[in-house]
C-alpha cells in the first residue's frame, strides 16, 4: 500500500521550497514551459503539469494531502515602490484568491507563500520568516532563515547568478528568463530557500489545524 503523502506544489518555479522534501509524492504545476522543463530535470520523479495553478487546484485539490502555493510576487513586492521608474500597476489578485479559496474549499493542510507586500496585507499572515509571508492552516514555528547575504536583491552578473545557485543548491545549465525580465537571477530570486521549505512541510505534520481569522473591514457607503 502506498502511504506516501501527496503534495501539490503550485506555481512551482524551480522548486526551491520542494528541494529538501523527502518521502512525499509531488505534483508540480508551472505555467512557463522553460521553467517547468528545468524543474522536471531537477526533480525527475515529480509529476510536472504545464498549466494554470488555479484551474488545477479547483479540479484536483481533493487528490492531495498538502498544498503549497507560491503565486507570483512581483506585483506585491516593495520593489514596486522602490524605483524611479513608473511601474504603477494593479496587484495580481491570485494571492488573495488562493488564500480565500483554500480557507473555504480545501480540507487538507495548506500554505500560501509570498513576499512582504508594499501595502498592508489584506489578510493577516500566519507567519513572517525572513522576506517571506506565509498564510496557512497550521502553525509555523520560527527558524533562522538562511541569509542570502545581499546578493538576493542585486546583481545579474554571471558571478551573482552562480552565488544564487550555490546558496540554493539548485544547479542547471545556462540562464532562464522569467517572463520579460532580462535578469537571469530573477528565477532564482523567486525561490524559497530549501531549508525553509523543509521546515514548513515539517510544521504541517502537526495534528492541529488552525483557521485564519481575517480582520474583516466593514465599509459603509452613505
Ligand X SMILES: C[S@@+](CC[C@H](N)C(=O)[O-])C[C@H]1O[C@@H](n2cnc3c(N)ncnc32)[C@H](O)[C@@H]1O
Q: Which residues bind ligand X (CB under 6 A)?
A: 11, 13-17, 29-32, 35, 52-53, 70, 72-73, 190-192
Taking the complex as a whole, the smallest distance from the CB of residue 85 to ligand X amounts, in Å, to 22
3-state class percentages of the chain: helix first, strand second, coil last, to nearest 5: 30, 15, 55
Burial of 166 (0-12, 13-18, 19+ CB in 10 A): exposed
Closest residue (Cβ) to ligand X? 13
The answer to whether 38 touches 81, Cβ cutoff 8 Å, is no
Closer CB to ligand X, 166 or 215, in the complex: 166
Closer CB to ligand X, 86 or 173, in the complex: 173
Q: How many CB atoms lie within 10 A of CB 162?
A: 14
Taking the complex as a whole, the smallest distance from the CB of residue 17 to ligand X amounts, in Å, to 4
Burial of 191 (0-12, 13-18, 19+ CB in 10 A): buried
Closer CB to ligand X, 33 or 217, in the complex: 33
Taking the complex as a whole, the smallest distance from the CB of residue 63 to ligand X amounts, in Å, to 17
Rounded to the nearest 10 degrees, how much is the dihedral formed by the CA atoms of 73, 114, 192, 89? 10
Closer CB to ligand X, 30 or 198, in the complex: 30
Taking the complex as a whole, the smallest distance from the CB of residue 45 to ligand X amounts, in Å, to 17
Closer CB to ligand X, 14 or 123, in the complex: 14
- Sheet order of strands, 5-10 included: 47-50, 24-30, 5-10, 66-69, 109-115, 132-136, 127-129
Taking the complex as a whole, the smallest distance from the CB of residue 42 to ligand X amounts, in Å, to 10
Amino acid at each position: 500500500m502506498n502511504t506516501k503523502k501527496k503534495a501539490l506544489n503550485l506555481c512551482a518555479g524551480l522548486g526551491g521550497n520542494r528541494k529538501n522534501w523527502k518521502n512525499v509524492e509531488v505534483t508540480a504545476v508551472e505555467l512557463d514551459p522553460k521553467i517547468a522543463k528545468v524543474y522536471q530535470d531537477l526533480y525527475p520523479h515529480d509529476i510536472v503539469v504545464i498549466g494554470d495553478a488555479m484551474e488545477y487546484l479547483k479540479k484536483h485539490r481533493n487528490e492531495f494531502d498538502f498544498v503549497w502555493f507560491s503565486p507570483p510576487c512581483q506585483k506585491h513586492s516593495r520593489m514596486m515602490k522602490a524605483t524611479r521608474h513608473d511601474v504603477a500597476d494593479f496587484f495580481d489578485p491570485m494571492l488573495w484568491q488562493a488564500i480565500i479559496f483554500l480557507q473555504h474549499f480545501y480540507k487538507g493542510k495548506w500554505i500560501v507563500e509570498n513576499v512582504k507586500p508594499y501595502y498592508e496585507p489584506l489578510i493577516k499572515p500566519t507567519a513572517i520568516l525572513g522576506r517571506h509571508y506565509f498564510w496557512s492552516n497550521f502553525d509555523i514555528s520560527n527558524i533562522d532563515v538562511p541569509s542570502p547575504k545581499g546578493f538576493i536583491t542585486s546583481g545579474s552578473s554571471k558571478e551573482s547568478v552562480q552565488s544564487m545557485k550555490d546558496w540554493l543548491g539548485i544547479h542547471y545549465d545556462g540562464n532562464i528568463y522569467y517572463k520579460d525580465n532580462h535578469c537571469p537571477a530573477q528565477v532564482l530570486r523567486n525561490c524559497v530557500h530549501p531549508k525553509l521549505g523543509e521546515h514548513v512541510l515539517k510544521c504541517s505534520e502537526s495534528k492541529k489545524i488552525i483557521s485564519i481569522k481575517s480582520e474583516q473591514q466593514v465599509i459603509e457607503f452613505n
